[in-house]
Amino acid sequence: MESFINIRYFYGLKMNTMKLNSIGLSEEKSRTLSRDLNVLLANFQLYYQNLRGIHWNIRGKSFFDLHMKFEELYTDANVKVDELAERVLTLGGVPLHTFEDYMSHAKVPIGKNVTKDEDSIRLIVDSLKQLLILERQLLDDSDEAGDEGTNSMMSDLITEQEKTVWMMKAWLAEKI
Ligand SMILES: [Fe+2]
């Protein structure tokens, strides 16, 4: 009985000392999440730049199809980058915005002078794989922090990107 009371006292004390921010989340957890969201933002920007590169440099018989497809993907990535940056701000952080910062957090492979259709599609698959790994970690961490806003954002990104990977692998005639 005595230890039960002590445990309650301990948790009560912990609850009272946890500082909440203006959206009702732990300040400390929000700081950690915005820092990790910035890493995702940095890698999203590298993915975006990969897409611009293959949109410009693609050559060969599937030029018209892929040139258009890559434009569709980078236009969508551009919207996602803005949403991520604004989530960082909502959690009280400052979004990374320099190439120097992006490169220092690079996990997505850097595609340079990629001209072949197959290499371009592989670059997309490899880039999305790295983004998905970061997003799954954020999904778990935001769940633990009770941050539904970040959690649902990650959930939507994961579902959409997994489908894109499936389609790219189908184009490559390979299994997931
Ligand atoms: Fe263009």
More confident residue, 24 or 7: 24
CA of 57 from ligand 1 middle (Å) equals 10
Rounded CA-CA distance 139/145 in Å is 10
CA of 68 from ligand 1 middle (Å) equals 8
Residue 12: pLDDT above 80? Answer: no
Residue 108: count other Cβ atoms within 10 Å of its Cβ.
Answer: 24
HSE (side-chain half, CA atoms, 13 Å) at 2: 0
| DSSP letter (8 states) at residue 111 | P
Q: What is the pLDDT of residues 96-108, one digit of tens each?
A: 999 999 999 999 9
Q: Cβ(77)–Cβ(157) under 8 Å?
A: no
Dihedral Cα 28, 32, 34, 38, nearest 10 deg: 160
Residue 75: pLDDT above 90? Answer: yes
CA of 55 from ligand 1 middle (Å) equals 7
CA of 158 from ligand 1 middle (Å) equals 26
CA of 54 from ligand 1 middle (Å) equals 10
CA of 116 from ligand 1 middle (Å) equals 17
User: For residue 29, what are the contacts with CB-CB under 8 A and spacing of at least 6?
Assistant: 144, 145, 147
CA of 72 from ligand 1 middle (Å) equals 10
CA of 126 from ligand 1 middle (Å) equals 22
Report angle CA 28, 156, 103 to the nearest 5 degrees.
60
Q: Cβ(168)–Cβ(121) under 8 Å?
A: yes
CA of 103 from ligand 1 middle (Å) equals 24
Distances 99 to 48, 92, 96 between C-alpha atoms, Å: 12, 22, 9
CA of 119 from ligand 1 middle (Å) equals 19
Which pLDDT value is given to residue 1?
43
Which pLDDT value is given to residue 11?
54
Question: How far apart, in Å, do the first and last CA atoms of the chain sit?
Answer: 54
Percent of the chain with pLDDT over 90: 90
CA of 61 from ligand 1 middle (Å) equals 18
The type of residue at 159 is T
User: For residue 61, what are the contacts with CB-CB under 8 A and spacing of at least 6?
Assistant: none
CA of 47 from ligand 1 middle (Å) equals 16
CA of 166 from ligand 1 middle (Å) equals 25
Residue 32: pLDDT above 70? Answer: yes
Dihedral Cα 95, 82, 168, 105, nearest 10 deg: -10
Report angle CA 79, 44, 176 to the nearest 5 degrees.
105
